Structure 1
Amino acid sequence: MNLIYEVLPEDNVDCLRESCNELMKFQQSAASIRPELFNEMSFETRLIPSIEKAIHNFIVVVKDADRIVGYVYSNISPKETYSNEFATFFDMATVRKPNVGCLSQFYIKEEYRKYGIDSKLFGMSMDWLNQFNEVNDVFIFVSNGNVDALEFYKRKGFTVSHEILGGFITVLRN
Protein backbone atom coordinates (compact mmCIF):
# COMPACT_ATOMS: atom_id res chain seq x y z
CA MET A 1 0.00 0.00 0.00
CA ASN A 2 1.32 3.39 -1.04
CA LEU A 3 -1.05 6.16 0.06
CA ILE A 4 -0.75 9.52 -1.66
CA TYR A 5 -2.62 12.64 -0.48
CA GLU A 6 -3.34 15.08 -3.27
CA VAL A 7 -5.05 18.47 -3.18
CA LEU A 8 -7.47 18.44 -6.08
CA PRO A 9 -8.22 21.54 -8.16
CA GLU A 10 -11.94 22.40 -8.40
CA ASP A 11 -11.95 21.85 -12.15
CA ASN A 12 -10.80 18.25 -11.67
CA VAL A 13 -13.55 16.97 -9.34
CA ASP A 14 -15.11 14.68 -11.91
CA CYS A 15 -12.79 11.93 -10.65
CA LEU A 16 -14.81 12.00 -7.39
CA ARG A 17 -18.11 11.01 -9.01
CA GLU A 18 -17.86 7.34 -8.02
CA SER A 19 -16.61 8.02 -4.47
CA CYS A 20 -19.23 10.69 -3.82
CA ASN A 21 -22.00 8.40 -5.04
CA GLU A 22 -20.62 5.61 -2.82
CA LEU A 23 -20.79 8.03 0.13
CA MET A 24 -24.45 8.80 -0.61
CA LYS A 25 -25.25 5.06 -0.82
CA PHE A 26 -23.42 4.41 2.45
CA GLN A 27 -25.31 7.22 4.18
CA GLN A 28 -28.60 5.88 2.89
CA SER A 29 -27.79 2.33 4.04
CA ALA A 30 -26.95 3.59 7.55
CA ALA A 31 -29.95 5.91 7.88
CA SER A 32 -32.93 4.94 9.99
CA ILE A 33 -34.63 8.34 9.68
CA ARG A 34 -35.96 9.21 6.22
CA PRO A 35 -33.46 7.20 4.13
CA GLU A 36 -35.55 8.02 1.06
CA LEU A 37 -34.14 11.57 1.15
CA PHE A 38 -30.89 10.11 -0.17
CA ASN A 39 -32.63 8.92 -3.36
CA GLU A 40 -32.01 12.32 -4.96
CA MET A 41 -28.52 12.86 -3.53
CA SER A 42 -25.54 12.30 -5.80
CA PHE A 43 -22.34 13.82 -7.12
CA GLU A 44 -24.41 16.08 -9.40
CA THR A 45 -26.87 17.21 -6.72
CA ARG A 46 -24.55 17.49 -3.70
CA LEU A 47 -20.89 18.01 -4.51
CA ILE A 48 -21.12 20.11 -7.67
CA PRO A 49 -23.69 22.63 -6.32
CA SER A 50 -21.74 22.97 -3.07
CA ILE A 51 -18.53 23.75 -4.93
CA GLU A 52 -20.33 26.27 -7.13
CA LYS A 53 -21.94 28.10 -4.17
CA ALA A 54 -18.78 28.26 -2.06
CA ILE A 55 -16.34 31.15 -1.91
CA HIS A 56 -13.36 28.84 -1.30
CA ASN A 57 -13.08 25.06 -1.74
CA PHE A 58 -10.58 22.52 -0.46
CA ILE A 59 -10.61 18.97 -1.80
CA VAL A 60 -8.10 16.29 -0.90
CA VAL A 61 -8.09 12.82 -2.41
CA VAL A 62 -6.26 9.81 -1.06
CA LYS A 63 -4.95 7.36 -3.61
CA ASP A 64 -3.51 3.90 -3.26
CA ALA A 65 -1.46 3.79 -6.44
CA ASP A 66 -3.93 5.28 -8.97
CA ARG A 67 -7.12 4.21 -7.15
CA ILE A 68 -9.02 6.84 -5.15
CA VAL A 69 -9.70 5.34 -1.72
CA GLY A 70 -11.00 8.42 0.06
CA TYR A 71 -11.56 12.15 -0.03
CA VAL A 72 -12.51 15.13 2.03
CA TYR A 73 -14.26 18.27 0.83
CA SER A 74 -14.38 21.45 2.91
CA ASN A 75 -15.52 24.93 1.99
CA ILE A 76 -16.02 28.51 3.05
CA SER A 77 -19.48 29.75 2.11
CA PRO A 78 -21.83 32.60 2.93
CA LYS A 79 -23.91 31.54 5.92
CA GLU A 80 -27.11 32.07 3.90
CA THR A 81 -26.07 29.12 1.72
CA TYR A 82 -27.18 26.88 4.60
CA SER A 83 -30.76 28.09 4.57
CA ASN A 84 -32.51 26.70 1.51
CA GLU A 85 -35.54 24.72 0.34
CA PHE A 86 -34.11 21.54 1.91
CA ALA A 87 -33.47 22.88 5.42
CA THR A 88 -32.06 25.64 7.59
CA PHE A 89 -28.95 24.05 9.01
CA PHE A 90 -28.29 26.42 11.93
CA ASP A 91 -29.62 29.53 13.66
CA MET A 92 -28.24 32.36 11.51
CA ALA A 93 -28.26 34.73 14.51
CA THR A 94 -25.67 32.58 16.31
CA VAL A 95 -23.11 32.96 13.51
CA ARG A 96 -21.04 36.07 14.14
CA LYS A 97 -19.54 36.60 10.69
CA PRO A 98 -21.01 36.50 7.16
CA ASN A 99 -19.16 33.30 6.17
CA VAL A 100 -18.92 29.86 7.73
CA GLY A 101 -16.58 26.94 7.29
CA CYS A 102 -17.88 23.47 6.67
CA LEU A 103 -16.32 20.06 6.49
CA SER A 104 -18.88 19.05 3.92
CA GLN A 105 -18.04 15.55 2.68
CA PHE A 106 -15.72 12.91 4.07
CA TYR A 107 -15.44 9.41 2.70
CA ILE A 108 -12.95 6.57 3.03
CA LYS A 109 -13.52 3.15 1.48
CA GLU A 110 -14.24 0.64 4.23
CA GLU A 111 -11.13 -1.47 3.69
CA TYR A 112 -8.94 1.64 4.23
CA ARG A 113 -10.57 2.91 7.43
CA LYS A 114 -7.97 1.41 9.77
CA TYR A 115 -4.86 3.25 8.56
CA GLY A 116 -5.29 6.72 10.12
CA ILE A 117 -6.46 8.28 6.86
CA ASP A 118 -9.41 9.82 8.71
CA SER A 119 -7.22 11.76 11.15
CA LYS A 120 -4.86 12.91 8.39
CA LEU A 121 -7.68 14.19 6.16
CA PHE A 122 -9.47 15.77 9.12
CA GLY A 123 -6.26 17.56 10.16
CA MET A 124 -5.63 18.84 6.64
CA SER A 125 -9.20 20.18 6.47
CA MET A 126 -9.02 21.86 9.86
CA ASP A 127 -5.67 23.46 9.01
CA TRP A 128 -7.18 24.81 5.81
CA LEU A 129 -10.40 26.03 7.46
CA ASN A 130 -8.52 27.69 10.34
CA GLN A 131 -6.48 29.88 8.00
CA PHE A 132 -9.52 32.04 7.23
CA ASN A 133 -9.72 34.93 9.69
CA GLU A 134 -13.14 35.90 8.34
CA VAL A 135 -14.60 32.63 9.68
CA ASN A 136 -15.34 31.89 13.34
CA ASP A 137 -17.85 29.11 12.94
CA VAL A 138 -17.12 25.69 11.46
CA PHE A 139 -19.87 23.13 11.02
CA ILE A 140 -20.03 19.43 10.25
CA PHE A 141 -23.30 17.76 9.30
CA VAL A 142 -23.58 14.05 10.07
CA SER A 143 -26.35 11.92 8.62
CA ASN A 144 -28.37 9.79 11.01
CA GLY A 145 -27.07 6.30 11.53
CA ASN A 146 -23.44 7.28 10.97
CA VAL A 147 -22.46 6.78 14.62
CA ASP A 148 -18.78 6.18 13.86
CA ALA A 149 -18.47 9.55 12.12
CA LEU A 150 -20.34 11.33 14.90
CA GLU A 151 -18.06 9.87 17.58
CA PHE A 152 -14.94 10.62 15.49
CA TYR A 153 -15.83 14.32 15.22
CA LYS A 154 -16.65 14.52 18.92
CA ARG A 155 -13.23 13.04 19.75
CA LYS A 156 -11.72 15.73 17.53
CA GLY A 157 -13.30 18.48 19.65
CA PHE A 158 -16.57 19.21 17.86
CA THR A 159 -19.76 19.31 19.90
CA VAL A 160 -23.31 18.44 18.94
CA SER A 161 -25.25 21.65 18.43
CA HIS A 162 -28.66 20.32 17.40
CA GLU A 163 -30.51 18.04 15.00
CA ILE A 164 -32.47 19.06 11.94
CA LEU A 165 -35.18 17.43 9.84
CA GLY A 166 -36.41 15.36 12.77
CA GLY A 167 -33.00 13.84 13.46
CA PHE A 168 -32.07 13.20 9.82
CA ILE A 169 -28.91 15.30 10.32
CA THR A 170 -26.91 16.03 13.47
CA VAL A 171 -25.19 19.41 13.38
CA LEU A 172 -21.78 19.66 15.02
CA ARG A 173 -19.99 22.92 15.69
CA ASN A 174 -16.49 23.93 16.67
Structure 2
Amino acid sequence: MAFYDRIPQRAKPQKLSPGEVILPAFGVFVAAVCIGLLVFAARYQLRYRRFVNEFAAAVQTSNKLSLRLTWQGEELPVTREQASRLCRLITSAGAGKVQRSTPEGDGCRLDFGDGSSLTLWAVDIAEETAAKPTGTFIRYVGADGAVYQYDTDGLQFHEAAEILALP
Protein backbone atom coordinates (compact mmCIF):
# COMPACT_ATOMS: atom_id res chain seq x y z
CA MET A 1 0.00 0.00 0.00
CA ALA A 2 2.84 2.38 0.65
CA PHE A 3 3.69 2.28 -3.03
CA TYR A 4 0.31 3.64 -4.08
CA ASP A 5 0.25 6.29 -1.38
CA ARG A 6 3.10 8.13 -3.07
CA ILE A 7 1.27 8.57 -6.40
CA PRO A 8 -0.75 11.80 -6.32
CA GLN A 9 -4.36 11.22 -7.07
CA ARG A 10 -6.41 13.60 -9.12
CA ALA A 11 -8.35 16.05 -7.08
CA LYS A 12 -12.07 15.83 -7.43
CA PRO A 13 -13.52 18.88 -9.18
CA GLN A 14 -15.11 21.22 -6.73
CA LYS A 15 -18.52 22.59 -7.45
CA LEU A 16 -18.76 26.36 -7.60
CA SER A 17 -21.33 27.98 -5.40
CA PRO A 18 -23.75 30.45 -7.01
CA GLY A 19 -22.04 33.33 -5.20
CA GLU A 20 -18.69 32.46 -6.74
CA VAL A 21 -20.20 32.75 -10.23
CA ILE A 22 -22.54 35.71 -9.74
CA LEU A 23 -20.11 38.03 -7.95
CA PRO A 24 -17.44 38.14 -10.72
CA ALA A 25 -20.15 38.45 -13.39
CA PHE A 26 -21.69 41.38 -11.51
CA GLY A 27 -18.25 43.00 -11.19
CA VAL A 28 -17.68 42.74 -14.94
CA PHE A 29 -21.14 44.21 -15.57
CA VAL A 30 -20.53 47.19 -13.27
CA ALA A 31 -17.13 47.84 -14.88
CA ALA A 32 -18.69 47.76 -18.36
CA VAL A 33 -21.43 50.21 -17.32
CA CYS A 34 -18.86 52.60 -15.81
CA ILE A 35 -16.71 52.51 -18.93
CA GLY A 36 -19.78 53.08 -21.11
CA LEU A 37 -20.82 56.13 -19.07
CA LEU A 38 -17.32 57.59 -19.27
CA VAL A 39 -17.24 57.15 -23.05
CA PHE A 40 -20.68 58.76 -23.39
CA ALA A 41 -19.71 61.74 -21.22
CA ALA A 42 -16.43 62.21 -23.09
CA ARG A 43 -18.21 62.07 -26.46
CA TYR A 44 -20.76 64.66 -25.30
CA GLN A 45 -18.01 66.99 -24.07
CA LEU A 46 -15.95 66.56 -27.25
CA ARG A 47 -18.98 67.45 -29.42
CA TYR A 48 -19.55 70.60 -27.36
CA ARG A 49 -15.90 71.62 -27.60
CA ARG A 50 -15.95 71.06 -31.38
CA PHE A 51 -19.02 73.30 -31.63
CA VAL A 52 -17.40 76.05 -29.54
CA ASN A 53 -14.16 75.90 -31.56
CA GLU A 54 -15.95 75.97 -34.93
CA PHE A 55 -18.26 78.76 -33.79
CA ALA A 56 -15.35 80.89 -32.55
CA ALA A 57 -13.41 80.26 -35.77
CA ALA A 58 -16.43 81.29 -37.88
CA VAL A 59 -16.73 84.54 -35.90
CA GLN A 60 -13.00 85.26 -36.27
CA THR A 61 -12.93 84.67 -40.03
CA SER A 62 -16.12 86.61 -40.71
CA ASN A 63 -16.13 90.25 -41.72
CA LYS A 64 -18.73 92.96 -42.07
CA LEU A 65 -19.57 91.93 -45.63
CA SER A 66 -19.98 88.23 -44.86
CA LEU A 67 -22.02 88.54 -41.64
CA ARG A 68 -25.78 88.47 -42.18
CA LEU A 69 -28.43 88.66 -39.44
CA THR A 70 -32.01 87.70 -40.27
CA TRP A 71 -34.73 88.42 -37.72
CA GLN A 72 -38.46 88.05 -38.47
CA GLY A 73 -37.91 87.98 -42.22
CA GLU A 74 -35.74 91.08 -42.52
CA GLU A 75 -31.98 91.54 -42.63
CA LEU A 76 -30.45 93.67 -39.93
CA PRO A 77 -26.92 95.07 -39.69
CA VAL A 78 -24.52 93.20 -37.44
CA THR A 79 -20.87 93.79 -36.66
CA ARG A 80 -18.07 91.36 -35.93
CA GLU A 81 -17.86 92.81 -32.41
CA GLN A 82 -21.50 91.94 -31.78
CA ALA A 83 -20.88 88.40 -33.08
CA SER A 84 -17.81 88.11 -30.81
CA ARG A 85 -19.80 89.24 -27.76
CA LEU A 86 -22.52 86.73 -28.62
CA CYS A 87 -19.88 84.00 -28.96
CA ARG A 88 -18.51 84.80 -25.50
CA LEU A 89 -22.03 84.85 -24.04
CA ILE A 90 -22.90 81.45 -25.54
CA THR A 91 -19.64 79.81 -24.47
CA SER A 92 -19.91 81.20 -20.94
CA ALA A 93 -23.45 79.76 -20.69
CA GLY A 94 -21.95 76.30 -21.16
CA ALA A 95 -23.37 73.16 -22.69
CA GLY A 96 -27.07 72.51 -22.49
CA LYS A 97 -29.31 69.57 -23.21
CA VAL A 98 -28.82 68.27 -26.74
CA GLN A 99 -32.09 68.16 -28.66
CA ARG A 100 -33.08 66.26 -31.80
CA SER A 101 -35.64 68.71 -33.22
CA THR A 102 -35.80 72.46 -33.55
CA PRO A 103 -38.56 74.73 -32.21
CA GLU A 104 -41.38 75.93 -34.45
CA GLY A 105 -41.13 79.30 -36.17
CA ASP A 106 -38.31 81.44 -37.41
CA GLY A 107 -35.46 82.20 -35.10
CA CYS A 108 -32.77 84.82 -35.12
CA ARG A 109 -30.32 83.57 -37.77
CA LEU A 110 -26.72 84.71 -38.07
CA ASP A 111 -24.89 83.62 -41.25
CA PHE A 112 -21.11 83.81 -41.23
CA GLY A 113 -20.48 83.72 -44.99
CA ASP A 114 -18.51 80.46 -45.02
CA GLY A 115 -21.58 78.21 -45.02
CA SER A 116 -21.92 78.12 -41.24
CA SER A 117 -24.86 79.65 -39.40
CA LEU A 118 -26.19 80.13 -35.89
CA THR A 119 -29.90 80.26 -35.12
CA LEU A 120 -31.40 81.22 -31.75
CA TRP A 121 -34.95 80.76 -30.45
CA ALA A 122 -36.59 81.80 -27.18
CA VAL A 123 -37.99 78.62 -25.62
CA ASP A 124 -39.63 77.33 -22.47
CA ILE A 125 -37.50 74.81 -20.59
CA ALA A 126 -39.73 72.00 -19.31
CA GLU A 127 -37.02 70.28 -17.28
CA GLU A 128 -37.58 69.91 -13.55
CA THR A 129 -33.87 70.53 -12.96
CA ALA A 130 -33.80 73.79 -14.92
CA ALA A 131 -32.89 76.83 -12.84
CA LYS A 132 -35.07 79.09 -15.01
CA PRO A 133 -38.31 78.22 -16.83
CA THR A 134 -37.21 79.96 -20.04
CA GLY A 135 -34.03 79.85 -22.05
CA THR A 136 -32.53 79.80 -25.51
CA PHE A 137 -32.45 77.07 -28.12
CA ILE A 138 -29.18 77.21 -30.04
CA ARG A 139 -28.63 75.55 -33.42
CA TYR A 140 -25.25 75.79 -35.10
CA VAL A 141 -24.61 74.38 -38.58
CA GLY A 142 -20.92 74.23 -39.43
CA ALA A 143 -19.39 74.90 -42.82
CA ASP A 144 -19.08 71.13 -43.27
CA GLY A 145 -22.81 70.64 -42.55
CA ALA A 146 -22.37 69.24 -39.04
CA VAL A 147 -25.27 70.26 -36.79
CA TYR A 148 -25.05 70.95 -33.07
CA GLN A 149 -28.25 72.01 -31.33
CA TYR A 150 -29.26 72.27 -27.71
CA ASP A 151 -31.34 74.29 -25.30
CA THR A 152 -30.01 75.98 -22.21
CA ASP A 153 -31.40 77.99 -19.33
CA GLY A 154 -27.93 79.47 -18.80
CA LEU A 155 -28.59 81.97 -21.58
CA GLN A 156 -31.76 84.01 -21.83
CA PHE A 157 -32.87 85.08 -25.31
CA HIS A 158 -33.22 88.71 -24.30
CA GLU A 159 -29.48 88.78 -23.45
CA ALA A 160 -28.62 87.71 -27.01
CA ALA A 161 -31.22 90.14 -28.40
CA GLU A 162 -29.54 93.01 -26.52
CA ILE A 163 -26.13 92.16 -27.96
CA LEU A 164 -27.49 91.89 -31.50
CA ALA A 165 -29.66 95.02 -31.03
CA LEU A 166 -32.82 93.24 -32.13
CA PRO A 167 -35.95 95.40 -32.29
Per the normalisation by structure 1, the TM-score is 0.30
Per the normalisation by structure 2, the TM-score is 0.31
Higher share in strand: 1
Larger radius of gyration: 2
More contact order relative to length (CA 8 Å, sep ≥ 6) = 1
